[in-house]
């Protein structure tokens, strides 16, 4: 790369908003206090007052707008291109949802407003709960958790309360070696010990290992955490037997809902035997990912787990004087595990997801899953042809569901290209790469989830790009190894960032 | 496409689901609606909420009706910030990563602590995460918490503690402030963290440095929850000996949204950086020497460290943190301080006006910044209803979470609460109390501004 | 150190750790060339406390690269008498000189006969090939 071949964005060096500040520039015009003013020290003791104001930016409004607009263009985003990240379900985020979430009745409603004057909000939450309950096949829902891993923690705390209520103390939670990192992290935060369960050659739970792990200490097995389809995109056909084994041992069965997009309207975790399910509203239910949140991780539970749900619960009450039903926050829950966060949860996310569910309806949700599965299988078929078929074989040779995993092992051995290099070269072709190096079970893994949003042309374009990159690597593997070339910055020194972390602008 | 896959129908692709597990019927939900119909449904629901446009909002308790400037909406609604994933491919995520870096800088400045993460879910769960960090750092399992800390934070801490195995000891308040002697007595060599809040839930500004001495003496971490809007005026936790400063970020750049999404901020000393929860953006260079940003210290996080991660958090509240950053940039160094001063002055005014009302007394006389508590000589719920009928949400009733203050009301001030509105509040509350004493009941002499549910018990 | 290297004067544990005996009662421990190569550039070393007791086959420290964390397994049992504090500012020394400047701990051995169960360089090389 030299001055002749730099892109304009590469030429533009990163400057933080602090570096663009000039003393006493400002954007905000604030109202006058409009009241008789008293010296601060009279109102608050001097030793509690701040001497120097924080060194925030000093910058005019047009410069703020330019700064963040230009910054935004240094981002790739879903509205601009394909994002086949496995288990992230990067589906289209409808702008209608933003419009309704911005309605003042929703957006300017204080969480501590009297429930009698927040009936629209509470009814919306109740309707969303009912919808999620039907989709999951479990009767009771709490919308409180703020994200999937928050839901996982909730599920494990519910499990703990459930066992304690029966006078039992159990210490172990089982999870497959292919599980998402949040699963074992949540297990530890909930005070349990992780026990790993092996995966068989068909990509499902290795049943003998599961039996062995349970039999080693059945009274200590609190829970088994699974997702189905699993992180390999495959439906575990032993699920009924798995449920039976865990329930027989007295444990709960937990469903990580990250892969729900494969089965909406087709199969339901409640029917599979799961006791507790978390859903990711920022995955299957179109909440925009926001560069890392916000999301929401509501949980659905079976009857026997319901008494332990977080407090407060949104409930519907029939009128006793002939009027319509009303909605309320129920705090009278003596067996509840308590609160997991402030107020009621990420209501703005509920508005968007509810609008999505209304828009799609029963027919649309089922169609979304069908199309997601079709798209994944089509892309897998395209990538099983040509060079991709040879260098990036699919890890498990069966029809997948909404996602599939390829292995870059032959590519590495024969071309010297790691999965990472393929991913970086894809950036030059205008695609966000699939998830890389997960699950850990597959060497040089590439996990691909196209979602129902993509057209056939979009999928073909991706497959064509992969083919081109592999062809290029046969002649000159060094190209991919030094990729990307056209992004705002090129490969970054992560070692430097971590060895001597610089996590703020020095001022 | 089916031909390429080698099947005759999509149904074949679902054959991997055993027959008994296939739903075999449509979901018992209505069919999909047109965009216009969905809009009408959502608007109808919105119309049945008494939001801050229907009722002048004096309710605080951690979330406040601030004015969020229009450029925040303009920037956070851009596709490039709204729709991308977490920045795991940094080369195409420099926008988001640089925003995190700028946000971390701002929060570090506000709290006076050198290290900030890119945000957690909200305030109360951040307190629980601080507890988890303190346990790891000190190898102890006991928290001493002031009752001045937000009830939701204390409840959340209790819930999490049931899981990760900690004991929580609460210390009471005296005259609206944490009982210093009781706090000192409660802290010992088994204490992992002392957790305070300033301003506390009753609006009182605590002497964090003095209270924190007990923590220092016994090697416990000092954790301070704070209100970001007051940090232009009040001495920040970092200058008072705090090891961790955190709190509810909603007042910065975020709507009320009936309680979320917002974000929690979390800042700490250098010593705690490797135990920090959440994402952290770090500065570096690319192969050509260009300045850039990446997710740093990822080995703390769940995707690498799994069961030994510092926290289980994955998706956080990145877009909400962006809103906060833009709001802070818009306020700027001078504006942020000016806003803080405005809050203090109008709060002082409101406190004086209310204290002068017949039947209203200050619940405590400790210094306040933007929120204060009063006692009412009439049932609080009934006073609130009377005010609501006049289009005013008068405050947060203290009775449920502070049974010793059943007659207590928490009143919050933002820059949107004009002196005229404050005067109306005083009048409305005065009228409610006077009416109660005169008639033993309330006379609704004005039609409701806000919709009220029918048939609610 | 760019080329695989397994000095003959050391003893090896199958979890990729080495032992250099010092007299009858002391030893230095570290991680092998294979371990540092698999990990990538080391960015952080989390050592045990001085005076801590460590048990053979159990984890006693952690070594981190950008994308991975590795438990360091004790090849023998003992008490920590010295920790290599060069590694605090320059953890990458483990990569450059895993057997010399990149040593991790010095230990007072509590069961010196455990050395007999360890592999020699030839046996360790065979293990890696297998």
Residues B202-233 pLDDT 10s: 999 999 999 999 999 999 999 999 999 999 99
- The domain total for chain A is 3
Q: Kindly state the DSSP code that residue C83 receives in the 8-state scheme.
A: E
Within-domain flag for A491 = no
Phi, psi of C8 (to 5 degrees): -75, -20
Pick from B17, B51, B369: which is nearest to A105 by CB?
B51
Size of interface A-B (CB pairs under 8 A): 722
The alpha carbon of residue B199 and the mean position of all alpha carbons in its chain are separated, in whole angstroms, by 13
With CB atoms and an 8 Å threshold, state whether A495 touches C43: yes
- Calculate the CA dihedral of residues A298, A326, B262, A278 and round it to 10 degrees: 0
Which of C39, C48, C66 best tests the B interface by mutation, with the highest count of B CBs <10 A? C66
- Any residues with CB less than 8 A from the CB of A387 and at least 6 apart, and which? A467, A470, A471, A474
Same domain for A377 and A244, yes or no, is no
Chain B, nearest residue to C64 by Cα = B299
Q: Hey, how many other C-beta atoms are within 10 angstroms of the C-beta on C85?
A: 9
A452-469 in b/e form (b: 16+ CB < 10 A) is bbbeeebbbbbbebbbeb
Residue with tokens 């550039």: C41
Predicted confidence at residue B304, as pLDDT, reads: 85
With CB atoms and an 8 Å threshold, state whether B304 touches C44: no
With CB atoms and an 8 Å threshold, state whether A188 touches B341: no
Which of A88, A108, A139, A310 best tests the B interface by mutation, with the highest count of B CBs <10 A? A108
Same domain for A36 and A144, yes or no, is no
Predicted confidence at residue B272, as pLDDT, reads: 96
Report which of A157, A164, A168, A158 is spatially closest to residue A219, judged by C-alpha positions: A168
Same domain for A328 and A402, yes or no, is no
Report which of A413, A415, A417, A396 is spatially closest to residue A405, judged by C-alpha positions: A396
Q: Hey, how many other C-beta atoms are within 10 angstroms of the C-beta on B406?
A: 14
Strand B221-226 relative to strand B244-248: parallel, antiparallel, unpaired?
Answer: parallel
Within-domain flag for C126 = no
C87: pLDDT strictly greater than 70: yes
- Helix intervals (H) in A345-489: 347-383, 386-391, 409-415, 419-428, 456-475, 478-481
Same domain for A291 and A334, yes or no, is yes
C66 contacts on B by Cβ (under 8 Å): 298-299
Within-domain flag for C10 = no
A499 contacts on C by Cβ (under 8 Å): 43-44, 91-92
Same domain for A416 and A395, yes or no, is yes
B446: pLDDT strictly greater than 50: no
Report which of A175, A229, A255 is spatially closest to residue A398, judged by C-alpha positions: A229
Same domain for A187 and A201, yes or no, is yes
The Cα–Cα gap between B263 and B330 comes to: 19
The Cα–Cα gap between A229 and A284 comes to: 14
B265: pLDDT strictly greater than 70: yes
Phi, psi of B233 (to 5 degrees): -110, -45
pLDDT digit string (tens) for C60-81?
A: 999 999 878 889 999 999 999 9
Residue B426's H or E segment, with its range, is helix B419-439
A268 contacts on B by Cβ (under 8 Å): 23
Same domain for A191 and A268, yes or no, is yes
Residue with tokens 């400037």: B69
A98 contacts on B by Cβ (under 8 Å): 77, 82
B residues 91..150 contacting A (CB < 8 A): 91-96, 98-99, 101-102, 104-106, 108-110, 114-116, 118-119, 121-125, 132, 150
Give B270: exposed, middle or buried? Use CB within 10 Å, 0-12, 13-18, 19+.
exposed
Predicted confidence at residue A320, as pLDDT, reads: 81
Same domain for A34 and A171, yes or no, is no
With CB atoms and an 8 Å threshold, state whether A495 touches C44: no
Chain C, nearest residue to B307 by Cα = C69
B90 contacts on A by Cβ (under 8 Å): 489, 492
Kindly list the partner chains of chain C, i.e. chains with 3 or more CB atom pairs below 8 Å. A, B
CATH number at residue C45: 2.40.50.100
Strand B244-248 relative to strand B264-268: parallel, antiparallel, unpaired?
Answer: antiparallel
Residue with tokens 């027919």: A363
Within-domain flag for A84 = no
Rg (chain A; Cα; Å): 26
The Cα of C116 is separated from the nearest Cα of chain A by a number of Å equal to 33
Neighbour order of strands in the sheet with A299-301:
A140-142, A299-301, A276-278, A252-256, A221-226, A172-176, A193-197
Neighbour order of strands in the sheet with A445-448:
A404-407, A445-448, A435-436
Within-domain flag for A87 = no
Residue B46's H or E segment, with its range, is helix B35-46
Same domain for A181 and A254, yes or no, is yes
For residue A439, give the 3-state DSSP assignment: coil
The Cα–Cα gap between A135 and B29 comes to: 9
- Helix intervals (H) in A44-191: 61-72, 95-101, 104-107, 119-136, 148-165, 182-189
Predicted confidence at residue B441, as pLDDT, reads: 56
Q: Which tokens is B105 given?
A: 């800088």
Predicted confidence at residue A505, as pLDDT, reads: 97
| CB proximity C123 to A under 8 Å | no
Tell me if A210 sits within 8 A of A242, measured CB to CB.
yes
Kindly list the partner chains of chain B, i.e. chains with 3 or more CB atom pairs below 8 Å. A, C
- Helix intervals (H) in A166-259: 182-189, 207-216, 239-249
- Helix intervals (H) in B77-186: 79-82, 94-111, 123-138, 151-164, 180-186
Within-domain flag for C74 = yes
B274 contacts on C by Cβ (under 8 Å): 44
Q: Which tokens is C19 given?
A: 């032992």
CATH number at residue A298: 3.40.640.10
CATH number at residue A411: 3.90.1150.10
The Cα–Cα gap between A91 and A286 comes to: 6
- Domain housing A443: 361-481
Within-domain flag for C81 = yes
- Domain housing C95: 18-121
Gap between the terminal Cα atoms of chain B:
58
Same domain for A205 and A314, yes or no, is yes
The Cα–Cα gap between B102 and B109 comes to: 11
Within-domain flag for C28 = yes
Tell me if B448 sits within 8 A of B389, measured CB to CB.
yes
Report which of A24, A349, A29 is spatially closest to residue B70, judged by C-alpha positions: A29
Within-domain flag for C100 = yes
The Cα of A234 is separated from the nearest Cα of chain C by a number of Å equal to 27
Same domain for A190 and A215, yes or no, is yes
Q: Does residue A237 have a cis peptide bond before it, meaning omega lies within 30 degrees of 0?
A: no
| pLDDT less than 70: residues of chain A | 1-4
For residues B67-76, average pLDDT: 98
With CB atoms and an 8 Å threshold, state whether A498 touches C91: no
Phi, psi of B31 (to 5 degrees): -70, 165
The Cα–Cα gap between C35 and C92 comes to: 13
C64 contacts on B by Cβ (under 8 Å): 299
Tell me if B48 sits within 8 A of B41, measured CB to CB.
no
Q: How many residues does chain B have?
A: 457
* B293: alpha, beta or left? (left if phi > 0; alpha if psi -120 to 50): beta
Residue with tokens 């996590």: A503
Within-domain flag for A447 = yes
Report which of A342, A231, A225, A239 is spatially closest to residue A277, judged by C-alpha positions: A225
B80 contacts on A by Cβ (under 8 Å): 72-73, 75, 77, 79-80
Chain C, nearest residue to B297 by Cα = C66
ipTM for the assembly: 0.97
Predicted confidence at residue B440, as pLDDT, reads: 64
3-state SS of chain B: helix, strand, coil percent to 5?
Answer: 45, 15, 40
Same domain for A277 and A146, yes or no, is yes
With CB atoms and an 8 Å threshold, state whether C67 touches B308: no
Tell me if A456 sits within 8 A of B1, measured CB to CB.
yes
Within-domain flag for C31 = yes
Predicted confidence at residue A2, as pLDDT, reads: 54
Ordered structural domains, chain B, with CATH: 56-67+333-439 (3.90.1150.10), 70-326 (3.40.640.10)
Within-domain flag for C2 = no
The Cα–Cα gap between A324 and B180 comes to: 51
Q: Which tokens is B53 given?
A: 């446009």
B305 contacts on C by Cβ (under 8 Å): 69
C40: pLDDT strictly greater than 80: yes
Q: Give DSSP secondary structure letters for A449-483.
A: ---TT--HHHHHHHHHHHHHHHHHHHH-THHHHT-
The Cα–Cα gap between A359 and C4 comes to: 61
Within-domain flag for A498 = no
- Any residues with CB less than 8 A from the CB of B155 and at least 6 apart, and which? A338, A339, B124
Gap between the terminal Cα atoms of chain A:
32
Tell me if A140 sits within 8 A of B307, measured CB to CB.
no
Predicted confidence at residue A397, as pLDDT, reads: 84
- The domain total for chain C is 1
Give, in order, the Cα–Cα distances in Å from B432 to each of B53, B396, B422, B441, B446: 22, 16, 15, 9, 13
pTM for the model: 0.95
Give, in order, the Cα–Cα distances in Å from B1 to each of A91, A371, A377, B5: 20, 11, 9, 6
Q: Kindly state the DSSP code that residue B180 receives in the 8-state scheme.
A: H
pLDDT digit string (tens) for B325-359?
A: 999 999 999 999 999 999 999 999 999 999 999 99
Q: Which tokens is B134 given?
A: 């303190």
Angle at C81 between CA C78 and CA C83, to 5 degrees: 110
- Enumerate the β-bridge partners of residue A448: A85, A404
Give A352: exposed, middle or buried? Use CB within 10 Å, 0-12, 13-18, 19+.
buried
With CB atoms and an 8 Å threshold, state whether A100 touches B318: no
Residue with tokens 């999928």: A459
Give A430: exposed, middle or buried? Use CB within 10 Å, 0-12, 13-18, 19+.
middle
B449: pLDDT strictly greater than 50: no
Predicted confidence at residue C130, as pLDDT, reads: 75
């Amino acid at each position: 790369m030299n001055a002749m071949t730099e892109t304009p964005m590469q030429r533009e060096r990163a400057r933080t908003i602090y570096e663009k500040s000039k003393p006493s520039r400002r954007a905000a015009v604030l109202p006058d206090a409009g009241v008789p003013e008293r010296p601060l020290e009279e109102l608050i003791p001097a030793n509690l007052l701040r001497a120097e104001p924080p060194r925030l930016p000093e910058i005019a409004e047009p410069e703020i707008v330019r700064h963040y607009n230009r910054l935004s263009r240094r981002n790739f985003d879903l509205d601009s291109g394909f994002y086949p990240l496995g288990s992230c379900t990067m589906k289209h985020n409808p702008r209608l949802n933003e419009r309704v979430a911005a309605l003042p009745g929703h957006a300017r409603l204080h969480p501590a407003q009297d429930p009698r004057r927040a009936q629209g909000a509470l009814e919306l939450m109740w309707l969303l709960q009912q919808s999620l309950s039907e989709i999951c096949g479990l009767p009771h829902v709490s919308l409180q958790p703020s994200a999937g891993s928050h839901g996982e923690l909730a599920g494990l705390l519910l499990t703990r309360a459930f066992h304690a209520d029966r006078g039992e103390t159990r210490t172990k939670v089982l999870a497959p070696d292919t599980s998402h990192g949040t699963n074992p992290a949540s297990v530890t935060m909930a005070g349990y010990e992780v026990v790993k369960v092996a995966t068989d050659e068909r990509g499902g739970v290795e049943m003998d290992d599961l039996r062995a792990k349970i039999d080693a200490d059945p009274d200590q097995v609190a829970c088994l955490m699974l997702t189905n389809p699993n992180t390999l995109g495959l439906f575990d056909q032993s699920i009924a037997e798995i449920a039976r084994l865990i329930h027989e041992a007295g444990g709960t069965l937990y469903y990580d809902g990250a892969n729900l997009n494969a089965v909406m309207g087709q199969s339901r975790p409640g029917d599979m035997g799961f006791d507790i399910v978390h859903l990711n509203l920022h995955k299957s239910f179109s909440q925009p990912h926001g560069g890392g949140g916000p999301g929401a991780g509501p949980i659905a539970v079976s009857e026997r787990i319901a008494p332990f749900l977080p407090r407060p619960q949104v409930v519907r009450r029939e009128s006793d004087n002939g009027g319509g039903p009303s909605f309320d926050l129920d705090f009278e829950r003596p067996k509840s595990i308590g609160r997991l966060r402030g107020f009621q949860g990420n209501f703005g996310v509920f508005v968007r997801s509810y609008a999505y569910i209304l828009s799609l309806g029963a027919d649309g949700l089922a169609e979304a899953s069908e199309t997601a599965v079709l798209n994944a299988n089509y892309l897998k078929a395209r990538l099983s042809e040509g060079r991709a078929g040879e260098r990036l074989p699919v890890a498990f040779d069966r029809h997948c569901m909404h996602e599939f995993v390829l292995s870059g092992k032959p590519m590495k051995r024969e071309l010297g290209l790691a999965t990472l290099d393929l991913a970086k070269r894809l950036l030059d072709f205008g695609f966000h790469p699939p998830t890389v190096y997960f699950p850990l079970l597959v060497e040089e893994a590439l996990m691909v989830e196209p979602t129902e949003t993509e057209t056939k042309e979009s999928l073909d374009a991706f497959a064509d790009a992969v083919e081109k990159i592999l062809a290029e690597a046969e002649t000159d593997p060094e190209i991919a190894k030094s990729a990307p070339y056209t992004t705002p910055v090129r490969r970054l020194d992560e070692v430097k960032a971590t060895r001597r972390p610089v996590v703020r602008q020095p001022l | 496409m089916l031909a390429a896959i080698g099947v005759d129908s999509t149904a074949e692709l679902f054959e991997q689901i055993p027959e008994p597990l296939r739903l075999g019927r449509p979901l018992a939900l209505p069919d999909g609606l047109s965009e216009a119909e969905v809009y009408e449904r959502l608007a109808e629901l919105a119309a049945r909420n008494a939001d801050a446009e229907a009722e002048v909002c004096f309710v605080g308790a951690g979330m406040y009706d601030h004015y969020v400037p229009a450029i925040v909406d303009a920037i956070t609604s851009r596709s490039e910030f709204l729709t991308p994933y977490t920045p795991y491919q940094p080369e195409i995520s420099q926008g988001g990563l640089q925003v995190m870096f700028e946000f971390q800088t701002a929060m570090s400045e506000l709290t006076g602590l050198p290290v900030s993460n890119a945000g957690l879910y909200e305030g109360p769960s951040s307190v629980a995460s601080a507890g988890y960090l303190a346990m790891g750092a000190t190898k102890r399992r006991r928290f001493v918490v002031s009752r001045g800390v937000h009830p939701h934070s204390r409840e959340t801490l209790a819930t999490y503690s049931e899981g990760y195995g900690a004991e929580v000891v609460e210390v009471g308040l005296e005259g609206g402030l944490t009982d210093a002697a009781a706090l000192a007595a409660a802290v010992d060599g088994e204490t992992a963290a002392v957790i305070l809040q300033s301003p506390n839930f009753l609006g009182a500004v605590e002497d964090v440095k003095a209270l924190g001495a007990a923590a220092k003496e016994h090697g416990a971490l000092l954790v301070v929850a704070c209100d970001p809007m007051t940090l232009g005026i009040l001495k920040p936790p970092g200058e008072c000996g705090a090891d961790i400063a955190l709190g509810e970020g909603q007042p910065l750049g975020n709507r009320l949204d009936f309680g979320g999404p917002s974000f929690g901020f979390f800042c700490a000393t250098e010593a705690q950086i490797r135990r920090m929860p959440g994402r952290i953006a770090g500065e570096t260079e690319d192969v050509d020497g260009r300045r850039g940003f990446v997710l740093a210290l990822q080995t703390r996080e769940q995707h690498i460290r799994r069961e030994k991660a510092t926290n289980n958090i994955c998706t956080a509240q990145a877009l909400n943190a962006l809103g906060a950053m833009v709001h802070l940039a818009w306020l700027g160094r001078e504006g942020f301080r000016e806003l803080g001063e405005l809050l203090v002055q109008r709060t002082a005014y409101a406190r004086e006006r209310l204290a002068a009302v017949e039947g209203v007394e200050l619940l405590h006389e400790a210094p306040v910044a933007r929120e204060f508590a009063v006692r009412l000589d009439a049932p609080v719920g009934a006073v609130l209803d009377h005010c609501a009928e006049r289009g005013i949400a008068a405050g947060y009733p203290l009775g449920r979470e502070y049974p010793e203050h059943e007659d207590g009301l928490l009143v919050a001030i933002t820059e949107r609460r004009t002196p005229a509105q404050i005067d109306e509040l005083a009048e409305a509350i005065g009228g409610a109390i006077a009416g109660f004493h005169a008639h033993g009941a309330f006379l609704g002499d004005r039609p409701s501004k806000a919709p009220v549910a029918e048939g609610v018990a | 150190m760019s080329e695989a290297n397994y000095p003959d004067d050391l003893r090896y544990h199958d979890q990729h750790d080495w032992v250099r005996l010092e007299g009858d009662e002391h030893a230095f421990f570290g991680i092998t060339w294979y371990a540092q190569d698999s990990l990538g550039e080391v960015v952080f070393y989390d050592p045990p406390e001085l005076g801590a007791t460590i048990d053979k086959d159990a984890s006693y420290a952690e070594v981190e690269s950008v994308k991975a964390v590795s438990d360091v397994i004790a090849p023998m049992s003992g008490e920590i008498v010295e920790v290599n504090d060069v590694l605090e500012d320059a953890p990458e020394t483990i990569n450059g000189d895993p057997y010399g400047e990149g040593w991790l701990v010095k230990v007072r051995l509590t069961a010196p006969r455990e050395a007999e169960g360890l592999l020699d360089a030839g046996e360790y090389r065979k293990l890696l090939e297998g």
